[in-house]
Amino acid sequence: MNRENKNINEEANYSVGLSRIAVSETHGEDSPYFDGWKAYDENPYHELKNPLGVIQMGLAENQVSFDLVEEYMEQHSKTVNCGRNDSNFRENALFQDYHGLLSFRKGMASFMEETRGGRAKFKAERIVLTAGSTAANELLTFILANPGDSLLVPTPYYPGFDRDLSWRTGVKIIPVHCNSSNNFKITPQALESAYNKAKSMNIKVKGLLITNPSNPLGMTICRATLEEILDFATRKNIHLISDEIYSGSTFSSSEFVSIAEVLESQDYKEAERVHIVYSLSKDLGLPDFRIGTIYSYNDKVVTTARKMSSFTLISSQTQQFLASMLSDKSFTTNYVRINRERLKQRYQMMVNGLRNIGIECLEGNAGLFCWINLNSILKEATREYESEVWRLILEEVKLNVCPGSSCHCCEVGWFRVCFANMSEQTLVVALERMHGFMKRRNIRRNDSCMLS
């Protein structure tokens, strides 16, 4: 036996051990949510080059107003390029502390106020910068909870939370089950039930995380419900994280109420337990710029988050460019207004197209997606048949959508379908494909009824 074969055999007999995180299955990558992405990556749709490919409707990305950002970049090319002749080149190239550029933090505070219609105020000194909202949510979880503790999260929720909140932190997610009888509204009863379930399992609850507007529902949380949620967190003496990354993607600014507004109306009495997560990935359509923020009313959380943010910094060049953009009031006001109008128009196009083929959607007022009900085409109301329909849509119809099971929805038959990450022409193709799928399903059903 030669040395090479001997080494191969020895490696087959044992392997070097890895950490618990490395071998953990809590990342969630084996879910349909990620499987659909892989299928798209292997066979992406292109109008000319690959018209039979998979259309990506599982990615919540905002491309409807990207032309406005591109126009700004063209008009401010010197700021964007930040080349060697730029007077700030040396400053941006050398080390910056993890507080980030003050000009950028001021710009972020200003834009957060803009997306909330000016009804909430934010201070630059309370903004902690992170490389996207994924890092912000994980960083907050590290700060607020210990391994083995838990966070309450209302369902259905963003599939990535399994990774963001649990994978590396060791913190458990306790689902707060909401249902369609009241349009998946978060109720005091549902919160109490989830809290008591954790208590019965001897799991300490350290916080409650909400998304407002909701991903995947595409709905905002009303002020009365937010007040109930804050009251619940106060009574249980736990933290409240409000993920508001779609706050500028509501179809009207008046339809969104930030937890910051509720705190202000109550003279910030319980503010120290409240933390807001925001990013520019959705509202401004810049996901790969990796811009996230934590805004906390708790001094200790701000200090600790700033220390930990050294693991998830944003480049100074990116900060400088965006500081200029976010501080340009004429640009941000115009962008937010047009973006809301375009998202509403695209949403209506999606909803009307689906209703024309017999598919109902939860009535939404925000976000980049629809929450659609395909329960009527399931053979039985089970996860197995929901998975079967998802796979048919992916493999035969060539549409990547996200099944409710990936969002931990307690009811079967719901799917999240994104509409803002493609052109209108591609959306028309997607709706035509869905129409053909529903037509074939109805023909099969009628044939089955005739045979029986």
Establish whether 243 is a catalytic residue. Answer: yes
Establish whether 245 is a catalytic residue. Answer: yes
Residue from 158, 246, 278, 347 carrying the catalytic annotation: 158
In 71-220, DSSP assigns E strands to: 127-130, 150-154, 172-176, 205-211
Tokens of 111: 């834009």
Tokens of 334: 């115009």
In 104-238, DSSP assigns E strands to: 127-130, 150-154, 172-176, 205-211
Spatial separation of the C-alpha atoms in residues 179 and 203, rounded to whole Å: 24
Average pLDDT score, the chain: 90
Is the pLDDT at 4 greater than 70? The verdict is no
DSSP states of 45-64:
-BTTTBTTSBEE-S-----T
Percentage with pLDDT > 70 across the chain: 90
Spatial separation of the C-alpha atoms in residues 170 and 314, rounded to whole Å: 26
| Cα Dmax for the chain | 79
3-state secondary structure of 20: helix
Q: How confident is the model at residue 83 (pLDDT cuts 50, 70, 90)?
A: very low
Tokens of 343: 């998202």
75, burial (CB in 10 Å: exposed 0-12, middle 13-18, buried 19+): exposed
Q: How confident is the model at residue 8 (pLDDT cuts 50, 70, 90)?
A: very low
Contacts of 313 (CB under 8 A, 6+ apart): 98, 100, 129, 131
- pLDDT given at position 314: 86
Contacts of 180 (CB under 8 A, 6+ apart): 362, 373, 411, 414
Q: How confident is the model at residue 451 (pLDDT cuts 50, 70, 90)?
A: very low
DSSP states of 344-393:
HHHHHHHHHHHHTTT-EE---SBSSEEEEE-GGG-SSSSHHHHHHHHHHH
Is the pLDDT at 294 greater than 90? The verdict is yes
Is the pLDDT at 452 greater than 50? The verdict is no
Mean pLDDT of the region 315-328: 87
Q: How confident is the model at residue 448 (pLDDT cuts 50, 70, 90)?
A: low
- pLDDT given at position 185: 97
Percentage with pLDDT > 90 across the chain: 73
Residue from 245, 276, 314, 377 carrying the catalytic annotation: 245
Establish whether 157 is a catalytic residue. Answer: no
Is the pLDDT at 368 greater than 80? The verdict is yes
- pLDDT given at position 32: 87
Q: pLDDT tens, 17-49?
A: 899 888 888 777 778 888 999 999 999 999 999
Query: Which H helix or E strand runs over 41?
Result: helix 32-42
Mean pLDDT of the region 347-366: 95
- pLDDT given at position 284: 87
Q: pLDDT tens, 388-418?
A: 999 999 999 999 999 999 999 999 999 999 9
Q: How confident is the model at residue 447 (pLDDT cuts 50, 70, 90)?
A: low
pTM of the full predicted structure? 0.91
Least confident of 6-20, 325-339, 355-369, 428-442: 6-20
279 and 292 in contact (C-beta within 8 Å)?
yes
Least confident of 71-75, 87-91, 173-177: 87-91
Is the pLDDT at 6 greater than 60? The verdict is no
Tokens of 96: 């910056």
- pLDDT given at position 14: 52
Spatial separation of the C-alpha atoms in residues 271 and 287, rounded to whole Å: 29
Q: How confident is the model at residue 93 (pLDDT cuts 50, 70, 90)?
A: low
Is the pLDDT at 11 greater than 80? The verdict is no
Residue with tokens 């060049």: 317
Q: What is the DSSP letter of 250?
A: B
Query: Angle between the 424-451 and 329-355 helix axes, to the nearest 10 degrees?
Result: 20
- pLDDT given at position 385: 94
Contacts of 136 (CB under 8 A, 6+ apart): 128, 130, 277, 278, 279, 292, 293, 294
29 and 37 in contact (C-beta within 8 Å)?
no
Establish whether 199 is a catalytic residue. Answer: no
Residue from 172, 236, 282, 398 carrying the catalytic annotation: 282
207 and 240 in contact (C-beta within 8 Å)?
yes
Q: How confident is the model at residue 80 (pLDDT cuts 50, 70, 90)?
A: low
